[in-house]
Structure 1
Amino acid sequence: MRKHPMTTIAAGVLGGALVLTGCSTGGDQDQATPSETSQDHGSSSSTGSDDGMEHPMDGGPAPAGIEKAASPKYPIDTEVTLTADHMEGMDGAKATIAGAYDTYTYAVNFTPTTGGEPVKDHKWVVQEELKDAGDQRLADGTEVTLEAEHMKGMKGAKATIASSTDQTVYMVDYEADGMTMTNHKWVVESEIQPAS
């Protein structure tokens, strides 16, 4: 009779340990699964993608104050082929031009406000997506605050300019890996070629 309570306690402890072990492995696997409604964008310093860096399917409107390109090489509704590789499935994808703009465009390094690994060489953000950036081209190494909301953890993040260009910059609609992206921000002219 005295052994019965001890057997029950031992069984309870072992059962609890098994439950805890089961919970810890399932959570990590779920976090590694990409969202069906978003894509990773940019690269982290460790794995090349970050669970907190999801890109929305619809990028929304162009930022306020950005100047439309007067005579872009690829006007709105032009069918093109992308040569950029910002995200998986982008290089070689067929796309339609959704907007063309004249501004300064930057690749930036930043750490998401949501935590996680730093993102290196994120392409692209435009002058109008940098807080208090003015209208002059910013030098490489300049520290800025991001106003862009391309991904979770981007808006309000402190960033450093890695490089810049004054090429015409475009918003595009394209399909890759079975997902349709609309108003994707951004690709520059050298990352586009005529549709084949």
Structure 2
Amino acid sequence: MRKRLLITSTALAVSLAGCGAGSDNPEPEQPAHEETGDHNSEHHHGDHSSSGEVPEGLKEADNPSYPVGSKATMEANHMPGMKGTEATIVGAYTTTAYAVSYTPTTGEAPVENHKWVIHEEVEGYEDEAYAPGDTVVLNADHMEGMAGAEAVIDSSEQTTVYMVDFEADGETVQNHKWVTEEELRSP
């Protein structure tokens, strides 16, 4: 009886371990790029810093949770080494932030659920916020091939966005655009 139970248990364990092998879905399910921290690394080139220039019409936040000059710990995982690092707030603005999917103008692989592009970085933006499913043209230049790309709005949220300075994996990043209030915590 014990031998039969042992054989049955072993066979069950082997069959469960093989689940997924040879299935119709050969690719393992991957979390969204902001969770993996790779920011679609084959597409994301070079410097994560920016000039610090903000789009025309962007309004400074009246009473941000993290004022300019303060420190915060980042929960955002937009690139390797970002999550858990200390950031210095260099700008705080009230706007609508969008997660977008787009195909870079460089012809590289499509980027899905890129966080964040702000309302004022959409070509010809109007007062009213865009809704999920809307198609827009990006004026943002956070990544190579982003400016001028057609994008689909995946999600939107009215929030305070922050421009931050930080160090990640030995790289000093200045004026990184954008981190939302929900992606920061007090140090």
The two structures share one fold, judged by TM-score above 0.5: yes
Segments of 5+ residues of structure 1 without an aligned counterpart are: 1-39, 44-48
Greater Rg by CA:
1
Cα distance between partner residues in 1 of 2:153 and 2:92: 22
Report SS of the residue matched to 2:159: coil
Identity %: 47
Over 6 Å off, 4+ runs: none
Q: Name the CA distance, whole Å, in 1 between partners of 2:169 and 2:38.
A: 14
Shift of 1:41: 6.2
Q: Is the 8 A contact 1:84 1:191 kept in 2?
A: yes
Q: CA deviation at 1:172?
A: 0.4
TM-score by length of 2: 0.77
Q: Is the 8 A contact 1:41 1:55 kept in 2?
A: no
Match of 2:47 in 1: 56
Aligned length: 150
CA RMSD of aligned residues (A): 1.3
Residue in structure 2 matched with residue 73 of structure 1 by the alignment: 65
Q: Name stretches of at least 5 consecutive residues in structure 2 with no aligned partner.
A: 1-36
Note if contact 1:56-1:150 (Cα within 8 Å) is conserved in structure 2.
Answer: no
Residue from 162, 166, 176 that aligns with 2:158: 166
Asked whether the 8 Å contact 1:104–1:137 carries over to 2, the reply is: yes
Structure showing the higher helix proportion among its residues: 1
C-alpha contact 2:48 2:142 (8 A) present in aligned 1: no
Question: Which of 105, 109, 119 is equivalent to 2:111?
Answer: 119
1:139 to 126, 131, 137: 131
CA distance in 2, matches of 1:123, 1:55: 18
Give the one of 72, 76, 83 matched to 1:84: 76
CA 1:55 to 1:109, structure 2 compared with 1: closer, same or farther past 3 Å? farther
Secondary structure in 2 matching 1:113: coil
1:157 alignment partner, one of 136, 142, 149:
149
How far has the Cα of 1:42 moved from its partner? 2.8
